[in-house]
Amino acid sequence: MPDAEPMYAATLVVRRAVSKPDALAMVALVLDSAVERAGSARARVPVGEGAWAEVEIPKFGEPPPLAIDVYSTLSDDHARLHALRLAAVLDEQAGWDAVPDFPH
């Protein structure tokens, strides 16, 4: 997916102190996927056709939460659907309470 494509986003908020690589690894684990571009500023995990998740962590010294942004090249609804699916899987398999930060 080229970065120049239009993107739609839906954000999940997780109140957990975890590093960006560890958060990406957990997302990949619960989705049985892999981290793409690992080690880069734009590391991401595919969450479905035309959709992927990126992790934003608080700046140094700020408390959690971290944000998991689910992007889609198709629509806001597509991004939200994959975000809600990811939130459910994170809760079920990892015990992470990922709260949608968008109207649903």
Q: Which domains does the chain show, CATH number per domain? A: 8-96 (3.30.310.50)
Q: Is 63 exposed, middle or buried (0-12, 13-18, 19+ CB in 10 A)?
A: exposed
The pTM (predicted TM-score) of the whole model is 0.88
pLDDT tens-digit profile of 64-100?
788 999 999 999 999 999 999 999 999 999 999 999 9
**For residue 66, which of 8, 10, 103, 20 has the smallest C-alpha distance?**
20
Kindly report, residue by residue over 14-27, the tens digit of the pLDDT: 988 888 999 999 99
